[in-house]
Amino acid sequence: MLIVDDNVDAALVLSELVQMWGYQTTVVHDAPAALDFLTEQRADIALLDIGLPVMDGYELARRIRDKPGGIDMHLIALTGYGQAADRKQSRNSGFAAHLVKPVDLDMLTKALSQH
């Protein structure tokens, strides 16, 4: 699982949590680092913040989808943006789920299980 969040502490806590659930994780803090990682490695699931520096999570999702194997990756938006327009934009960008911070753990578990 790839976790992309510019909030270092939040990303590390999330990583530790999902590792306790049995997932292997890689954490990066911006979109270019995520794309670099996906050039070298593969991830089945990505938890992406939307409000990233350099490139937002919507654009990152679109670029992931364009990479080899990216169409099959289970993308979950994990963000502070929760308006209807934000949810619509995440669907249009290729996200399977849109979760709002602070994340409800039951909803996160459900989103992960849909992969």
Instruction: Give the model's pLDDT for residue 28.
Output: 98
Instruction: Give the model's pLDDT for residue 55.
Output: 97
DSSP letter for each residue of 29-97: SSHHHHHHHHHH---SEEEE-SS-SSS-HHHHHHHHHHSTTGGGSEEEEEES--SHHHHHHHHHHT-SE
Longest dimension (CA), the chain: 35
Angle of helix 31-40 relative to helix 57-66, nearest 10 degrees, comes to: 20
Give the domain CATH number at 45: 3.40.50.2300
Instruction: Give the model's pLDDT for residue 115.
Output: 81
Q: Judge whether 115 lies within some domain.
A: no
Q: Judge whether 37 lies within some domain.
A: yes
Instruction: Give the model's pLDDT for residue 32.
Output: 98
Report the residue count for the chain: 115
All residue ranges of the chain with pLDDT < 70 are none
Q: How many domains are contained in the chain? A: 1
Q: Judge whether 114 lies within some domain.
A: no
pTM for the model = 0.96
Instruction: Give the model's pLDDT for residue 68.
Output: 87
Q: Judge whether 50 lies within some domain.
A: yes
